[in-house]
Amino acid sequence: MIFGPGRRNNETGVRNNRTEAHDNETGAGQFNHQFDDKGDRPVFCERCAALTRRLTWDPLAEPHAELLIGSCIWMDERCRDWCSDCTDKVKELFHLRYQITVGDSVPPEAVRYFLELEKQFPNWPLFRPERRSPGIADKVRRMVRHNLKRACIELEKMDREYRKREAEQTEEHRTSG
């Protein structure tokens, strides 16, 4: 499943264009899932796998950009009862779906892993074709970039306020001493 630059595999909808802007902006990067002793890469413990199989598609769900994950997530794709280990593992999967959707370069083993999980959890809304189609790529890319810019602006504002308070305290200390 290695795709040439700009080519789309019609079966999976996966592109292999390199658009490094997102990885550079979010710090997101390589596929890091580790294999277990059997050569598998389980994303869920048994309990969380059962919870995931019960997730249902909500046609009214809207995507929300997640800054720390560097992805868009629909609320019907998550389960609040997942354990913390499984929640952490799923974050990488959400980002992998984002990379597939926007056409980032995706290692072949990551594509295979994604497709394996789709077979294991066919009803998980994460795998709905319209959530990784080329038609939504620009929308999710804009949402993630907008969220990142908004966070940067907020951090700059907080930094200015902090520096202003520090300067005021220094001046106050200097004049009262």
Query: What is the SS3 assignment for 72?
Result: strand
Q: What is the pLDDT of residues 32-70, one digit of tens each?
A: 544 344 445 678 999 999 999 999 999 999 988 887 788
- Is residue 6 predicted with pLDDT exceeding 50? no
For 93-136, the DSSP string reads HHHHHHHHHHT----HHHHHHHHHHHHHSTT-GGG-GGGSSHHH
Contact 66, 21 (CB under 8 A): no
Q: What is the pLDDT of residues 115-168, one digit of tens each?
A: 999 999 999 999 999 998 889 999 999 988 888 888 888 889 999 999 999 998
Query: What is the SS3 assignment for 151?
Result: helix
What are the φ and ψ backbone dihedral angles of 175, each rounded to 5 degrees? -80, -25
Structural domain boundaries in the chain: 21-176
